[in-house]
Each structure stands twice: as C-alpha cells, then as structure tokens.
Structure 1
Amino acid sequence: MASNSPAPEGIELQEAPTAGAWGEWNPTEDSARPPRGKHRVVKQRGGLARSSTVLGVGVIAAVGASGIATAQDRPQVAISIPSLPDFGLGGEGGDGQHADAEGPAADAGAVTKPTGIIAQQAAGHGDAGATLVGRILQQAESQESAADSQTRAQAERAAQEAAAAEAKAQREAAQKEADDARVAAEKAAKEAAEAKAEQERIAKLAGSYSLPTSAYTLTSHYGDAGSMWSSGHHTGLDFAAPTGTPAKAVAGGKITSAGWSGAYGYRIVLELEDGTEIWYCHLSSMSVTSGSVSAGETIGRVGATGNVTGPHLHLEVRKGGSTMDPLAWLESKGLSV
C-alpha cells in the first residue's frame, strides 16, 4: 500500500510498478545481465520496502524526540514506592527504615514520612518554599521596621532642629534685650554724667559771675520792637532800679571805655577774658573808668542819663561786634535772673 505522507528529507521514493508492469517484466539472468561494454544498475523490487523502513525509523525518532522534549517540559510526578515486606533481614523494610519493635500500636500516632526519591524531593521543595516565604516575610518585617526607625529618626531630627531654632531665637531675643538695656543704661549714665558736669560747671561759674545789680525789675527784653529804639528793636535788657543803685561787674575783666555815649548816656564797657563785651548804659555816675576789675565789684551807679523814660540799667552783651540776648547769656553762666 502506497503512503501519501511526504518522504523525509534526503530519502528518494520510487513509484511502484503497476500490475501490467509486473506481468510484462520478468527478468532472467540473461536479461538482467548488463550489456557488454556498459554498466547498468539493476533496480531492485525491494526499494519501496527499504524506503518505508527508513521512513518509519525517522518518524519513530521524531516522535521519540518530541516525547522526550515534552516530558522534560512537564512537571515531575511524585511516585511512591511501597514498602517491601520484612524477610528477616534485620527488621529493615523496603524503604530502608528500621521497623519498630513494639509493633503497629506504637506507630499509631507517628507521622508518616514521605518515601521515594521524588516524594522526598517534593518535600524538600516544600520546605525550601516555606523557608523562602519565611525569609521574605522576615525581610519585609525588617524593611518595615527600618522604615519606622527612619521615620522616627526624621521626626526626632525635625524636633531637635525646631528646638534648636527656638533656643537660638530665644538667645537672640535675650541678647537683643540685653544690648538694648546696656545701650539705655549707657545713655542714661552719659546723660547723668553730662548733667552733673553741667551743674558743676554752672556752680563753678556762679562763683565767677555776678548779677549786674540788685533790687531790680526787668522792664524791656532783648528783641522787643518799638519806635523808642533807633534800630527799631531793643538790643539789651533793662533792669529798672532806683537811681544810685550799685552797678557791678558781672565777671573779671578790664575796663576798656568809660564816658558819655549819646543816647546811651554815661556808659562803661567791660571786656572779659574771652573777648565778650558788657555795656553798662544810662549810669548816673562811674566808679571805675579803667583797669581790671573782679566779679561783683561796683563800677558805677544806676541812673537816667541819655534817651530814657526813667532810671534803669541798660545792659548789653556783645561778641565780635554783634549783640546777643543778655538774659540767656547770664543764665548760661549759672545766674538766676
């Protein structure tokens, strides 16, 4: 029977002869003999059988190879080997384990161990899987614990940084407060020292300066405006007092001028050590007309000479040719006017 399957690669199939061909072609020894001078290859009738055999072997080989590959890809199947009976060989079973001397009753609560190589391998794989799961869980727990520890460490570090920042702010605030208090104390101390120095200076000057007269009344101040004065305003300070009231040197100095001076009447000019000039005007008389005098010394008498409306001492203070307020000048020397 002819096969419809394709021939394996490398195998050449020959067509089988038909029935007519089998009847017509019956070679003999003579007809099968090759002609002289030529080499002829005689076709054998068994070629199809040999080809079929080769084809079958190839198919079997291919199937076997695929089966082996399939078997390799399939998971292993546990095969249990039954225990062999004890034939009196020292009490060992077919699985190589010793039988218990006490009989089956002693083995009632015992756990049957897996037997067979594949079963033992499966049990070993199960134990390895359980160990792997345990390790994974342990690793996950360790990682979770590490994460918790890191979170706590970060929280503690943040709390420490916040506490450090707050402590720094408190230190800076305390330092600023201390600096402000120190500056205020220094300022107060400086002001107190200056006030004390001024008091001491005024007290010292009070011993060096004197009021120009006594029993007086201030009637006109420096800068008062009016037509009575040629300049249009008052250039001195008027001490109204009875005629003959002593006029005194306000400080130590020398007399540079003494005599009649027009609208000022009788006038004495006292020059102090710093160049300040003190004018005594409208005097009724002059006691000292030259030389040096000391503070509080009488140099003349109050009068009403010159352009006046009544007896008084017209006192002027001049420095560098310009007038200044006599009241302010006297007070600056520690005198209470």
Structure 2
Amino acid sequence: MASNRPAPEAPFVPNQRTESFGPGDRHTDEGPWEEWNPTEDSLRPARGRHRVAKQRGGGLARSSTVLGVGVMAAVGAGGMASADTGKPPVAISLPDLPAVGALFDGSGGPQAPQGSATPLSDVTETSTATGRAATGAGEALRNRIMAQAEQQRHHADAEAQAAAEAAAAKQADRAAARAKQEAEAKAAAAKQKADEAARQKAEEARLAELARQYTLPTSSYTLTSTFGQAGSMWSSGHHTGLDFAAPTGTLIKAVHSGTVTQAGWAGAYGYRTVLTLDDGTELWFCHQSSLNVSAGQKVGTGEVIGRVGATGNVTGPHLHLEVHPDGQAAGTDPMTWLRGKGLTP
C-alpha cells in the first residue's frame, strides 16, 4: 500500500472560526493543537471492523474511492488537526489517489475522480467475453468427452466383432476338422472295403487256381457222416472222416497229385489207398471195392485210383475219406480242408 503525500499546511490563526474546520473557539479542557501529518512509518494497520479492505486488481472499489476522497477533502480543507489524547497515532490505510487539489477544478466544484476504476461497459464486455470463453471451454470439453465415448464405443464394437470373427473361425475350424475326420473315416472304410474285396477276389482267384489243381474224390454222392460225429459204430466213439455214399463201383479219383504210399487191406478200413502229397499231407481212401494203383506209384490230379465199395466195418457202400496233415495220426476235418482248396463237397 503506497503512503499518502503530506497535505499542504494551512496558516494557524488563533481564535478564528472557519466554517469548514479550524482551531478557533476551543474549550478550556482542550490542549493546544498539534499538526497531524501521518506518514508510512508512523501509521500501523487499523484493526477491528474499521479496517480498510486491501485493494485488489487494477481498479478501485467505489466505496474505497468515496472514503478516500472524503478523508482527503476533510484533511485539505481543515488543514491541520491535532488531538492530545496521550495515545499514539492510529494508522489508516488509504488507496493510491491523485493529489487532493486535483479533485477540485477552478470553480471550486469537485471533479470526476481520476483513478484506475474500470468502466462498467468494460466490465460488462469482460464478463461477456469470460462467459463466452467459459461456454467455449465447456463445449470443447463436451465435444472431447463425446469423441472419447465414440472412440470407446468403436473400440468395443471392434473388439466384439473380432471376438465374433474368432469364434466363427474356431467353429469353422472345428467343422472342417470334423468333416476331415468323417472324410478320412469314410475313406478308410472304403479302402478297407476295397481291400477286403481285393482279398476276396484274390482268394477266389487262388481257389480257382487250386480248383484246377484239386478235385473232389468222387461224383454222384451223398454226404452221410461228417467229421467228429459221435456214435457207437466207431471204435473211437466219434467219426474220424467224411463219408461220400455212392453206388458200388463208382470211380475214386486222386484229389491232388502225389505219391501212393500204401495200397491194400487195412482191417476195419477195408481196402485202403494212402496218397501222400508234396507237402506231406496224407489222404486216406477207405472201403474200396477194388484198387487201381500200387505203393510207390505217382499219380496226377483227377487220376482214377480205385472204386467205391463196402469193405471193412461199414453198413453200406461209400467212400470214407480222412486227411492227416504231415502224416499225423490225428486227422483234421476233410470238409474244411477241401474248402480250403477251392472245392465245395
């Protein structure tokens, strides 16, 4: 706060009244007047409710201006005032004002205060500009918030679309994998079926080839007793061969090429011919009425080796055929063996 400049001194005239301010007609209890010229060093801040508000900004408040003008006018008109109260001077803070004389023109009337107070029109324009700036700032903030919200919404939509596309891709991959598995399963089944058909065809071809190499032992026959059939008529308790019932004298043929190892009487088997094949399998032709080969003789497939008869332990004319792999005593089922050679009894 700047200090006030000293007011011009007024001449002291004893016992003279002035209309504005003076020391005349003083009472007896009043002491002599002393010149009161407050300075910055002698003043101290006012306390209490009479404290002058601190000036803010570049302009002066209207109340402060009026107060300052009144005080300065009183001091300039009255000159000097004194009070012998025995107390130190009270400090008064005043705003920066022009000289007191400048407040009055030549006609003695007060002039318009010359200060830094801001005109009301400028204040109005400033307020309007401030309002516009605030409105612009609010609109900018709103626009920025809306832009951010829109950006977040686009980001969320993009993430949702990406997730949907990923789920669709996974589903497509699973569908493709499932379709691939089904196709592979179908291909495997088709291949297995084709392989099975090829094997069957190959087996048929092999059997056809064997059928040309093998033949049934007789013709015009009827199968009566099969391998393993139980009965008291056989000493072992079960049948050990396959019986082809046919009229006596029906031709008996060599099933496959081989060597005759036995040809003659064989007890309960009657007249029997044993044909040994190249792999060691022995074929027994039993109950013949006559023999057409002898031991050591080589025969070919389909060559006649004897005739159907009823010799030995029989109940009627038939051919009893037994198969002994590798010449073993225990025989195998002649039906299965013949079918394995492409023949169907």
TM-score class normalised by the smaller sequence: 0.5 to 0.7
Amino acid in the other structure paired with 1:276: T
Q: Does 1:288 align with 2:289?
A: no
**Could you tell me how far 1:297 is from its partner in structure 2?**
0.4
Q: How many residues align?
A: 249
Query: In structure 2, what is the equivalent of residue 328 of structure 1?
Result: 336
Gap runs ≥5 in structure 1: 1-52, 80-113
* C-alpha contact (below 8 Å) 1:210/1:250 kept by paired residues: yes
Q: Does 1:60 align with 2:46?
A: yes
Query: In structure 2, what is the equivalent of residue 315 of structure 1?
Result: 321
Query: In structure 1, what is the equivalent of residue 177 of structure 2?
Result: 172
After TM superposition, list the pairs within 5 Å mapping 1:129-208 onto structure 2: 129-208=134-213
* C-alpha contact (below 8 Å) 2:46/2:52 kept by paired residues: no
**Could you tell me how far 1:308 is from its partner in structure 2?**
1.3
Bigger shift: residues 162-171 or 224-233? 162-171
Judged with a 3 Å threshold, the aligned counterparts in structure 2 of structure 1 residues 299 and 62 are, in CA distance, closer, same or farther, namely same
Judged with a 3 Å threshold, the aligned counterparts in structure 2 of structure 1 residues 78 and 325 are, in CA distance, closer, same or farther, namely farther
Query: In structure 2, what is the equivalent of residue 297 of structure 1?
Result: 303
* C-alpha contact (below 8 Å) 1:245/1:301 kept by paired residues: yes
* C-alpha contact (below 8 Å) 1:284/1:303 kept by paired residues: yes
**Could you tell me how far 1:67 is from its partner in structure 2?**
2.4
**Could you tell me how far 1:256 is from its partner in structure 2?**
1.1
Q: Secondary structure at the match of 2:203?
A: helix
* C-alpha contact (below 8 Å) 2:248/2:307 kept by paired residues: yes
Q: Does 1:260 align with 2:265?
A: yes
Q: Secondary structure at the match of 1:323?
A: coil
Q: Secondary structure at the match of 1:130?
A: helix
**Could you tell me how far 1:177 is from its partner in structure 2?**
2.2
Deviation sequence 1:23-48 (CA, Å, 0-9, x none): xxxxxxxxxxxxxxxxxxxxxxxxxx
* C-alpha contact (below 8 Å) 1:256/1:270 kept by paired residues: yes
**Could you tell me how far 1:234 is from its partner in structure 2?**
0.3
Amino acid in the other structure paired with 2:323: V
Q: In 1, distance between residues paired with 2:316 and 2:299?
A: 28
**Could you tell me how far 1:223 is from its partner in structure 2?**
0.8
Bigger shift: residues 251-260 or 167-176? 167-176
Deviation sequence 1:124-179 (CA, Å, 0-9, x none): 32222111111111112112211221222123212212321232122122212211
Gap runs ≥5 in structure 2: 1-38, 64-118
**Could you tell me how far 1:280 is from its partner in structure 2?**
0.6
Q: Give the counterpart of 2:284 among 268, 279, 299.
A: 279
Amino acid in the other structure paired with 2:290: S
